[in-house]
Chain A
Amino acid sequence: MATNMLKEKYTGKINTVTIGATKEQGGTRANTVTVGGDATMPFLQFEGDMPLKAVVAVEIQDIKPAWHPELHKIFDSVMGDPVAWAKKAVESGADLVYLKLAGAHPDNGNKSPEDCAKVVKAVLAAVSVPLIVIGCGDDEKDNAVLPVVAEAAAGENLLIGLAKQDNFKSVAAAAMVHKHKVLAQSPLDINICKQTNILISELGLAPENIIIDPSTAALGYGIEYTYSILERGRLGALGGDKMLSMPVICQVGYEAWRAKEAVATEEDFPNWGNQTERAILWEAMTAAGLAQGGAHIMVLRHPEAVALFKKNIDALMVNPAI
């Protein structure tokens, strides 16, 4: 007897957002990356459209960070050279490069806006994938840096951020003028997530130009909170809530690589197994869990985690035979 699947009917869907611009579109990218378009809950392809698979952005910084020793094993030779690092990120399988301008921070070298723009231009020249550019995290400095970067990269259709509830105007305005997408971050709070999107939209930037970062928690460190927000946001979007219909980016690497499961040595925890494998798996598993929640862009660090995640997502994108 044939099974009659019960299907939910939804009125809304996730916006389809493209990052990057090819030569014909006014940029210099070899290809663009498009995410979103989901018209159902994650991976329920029998019920509604899920046209595009989750993508990977590999994180780099403009200065040499103090990261996990396993990451230094891979990237140490290129850290401090964003151009070389970006190339290596692309070799690792990055669909996009996620560049954090950490060196602009007053405590971290206090790089000028113009020097930051130079870094961004150099990375754009070195790799052909679309670029995500994030400020240093100091609001005042970012408000000076991001407009200059946005102007220098006009036409490239960056994803640029962060825009936050209490600090969104300068980056959103710059994105509007120079035609970039905005990355809006909220602190694991669906109400603030929605309100931030409203504030940015009221400034005049259409909601279709926003990608949201709901804040990420690693596996074992509250990933279920992120998952709940992803789920609630998706249900809102599918119910027609335009202020929650944005694709989602998750900063997986930053969180996973500081988890105890990644940091603890074999010496201290002999029963936990090989630390390298364990740490890589922690990053890949965190990304896999968030993909199940419907996140669209994963910001990862380790090339092997990138490969594991991509393998997982390819398998998940096969429509179930129902």
Chain B
Amino acid sequence: MIIIGERINGMFKDIGAAIRAHDPKPLQEWAVKQKEGGAHYLDVNTGPNSEDQTVDLPWMINIVKEVSDLPLAIDTTNYDAMEAALKAYGKPGALINSIGCEQEKIDRVFPMAAKYGADVVCLCINKVGIPKSAEDRVAMAMEFVANAEAYGLQPDNLFIDPIILPVNVAQEHGVEALETIRQIKMISNPPPKTTVGLSNISQKSPHRPIINRTFAIMAMTAGLDSAICDANDENLVDAIATARLILNQDIYCDSYAKVFRQR
């Protein structure tokens, strides 16, 4: 289970202020702290208040790169900023986060992924919106996979996100998202990877940690490969490490929870 640490995002006050002032310290502190927590990737997002993402995002990438060797998930739908950030990242292995299932976005982003050796988060959402049924979501996943092939990407270069909606407003979506994950893991060989924005499941609920944790484990059972989440939620990371054991993905040892964080 790949944990993509969500904390370097301008939506958080400290990061937002740091971006405006181009102050590297909070970004670098969170880069280190999230790795210690168990993050395998670091998400980097300017948030909504950046005046010019093509400047701010590459700056953030360079700042984070100084202190962390973790691969970065570059989080923007401004694809000029994305390309500038990929250039700043300067090596293969980044994660483009993200695109929806629209042909013009695919045509813009997949060639970029191939050129820079990056993987892509693909959202099961299109101009019409988020489909409810697993079937319709899987149809989008298949569109992504077919396009990947055309652009010289492998299916497992894609991190397909079924789109998670809050359980307190769209309760019927959760089970469809789980089924989507299950089916995505069967559509090709190798199958695409799967991912979710974990904390969406618990938006506006007073019980966020337990809802996040429970959903993470249910989704892992369905075949979830990664999640953008709070890498410093100790109970969440412990639960993920434990689920990996029970799913026979890691070999048990008494220090397994600690070892999981060192990977």
Contact = CB atoms under 8 A, between A and B. Distances in A.
B242 to A, nearest CB: 14
Interface string B244-263: 00000011111100110011
A241 B250 CA distance: 8
A191 B251 contact: yes
A141 interface: no
Nearest to A233: B251
Interface residues of B, number: 11
B203 to A, nearest CB: 33
A190 interface: yes
Contacts of B255: 195, 198
A153 B263 CA distance: 34
A187 to B, nearest CB: 14
B interface majority secondary structure:
loop
Contacts, number: 31
B263 A244 contact: no
A13 interface: no
Contacts of A205: none
Nearest to A192: B253
A190 B256 CA distance: 13
Interface in A204-257: 232-233, 236, 240-244
B191 to A, nearest CB: 13
B259 A244 contact: no
25 contacts: A9-B190, A190-B251, A190-B252, A191-B251, A191-B252, A191-B253, A191-B254, A192-B253, A194-B251, A194-B252, A194-B253, A195-B253, A195-B254, A195-B255, A198-B253, A198-B255, A198-B259, A232-B251, A236-B251, A241-B250, A241-B251, A242-B262, A242-B263, A243-B259, A244-B251
Given A195-B253, A232-B251, A240-B263, 9 more contacts: A191-B252, A195-B254, A195-B255, A198-B253, A198-B255, A198-B259, A233-B251, A236-B250, A241-B250
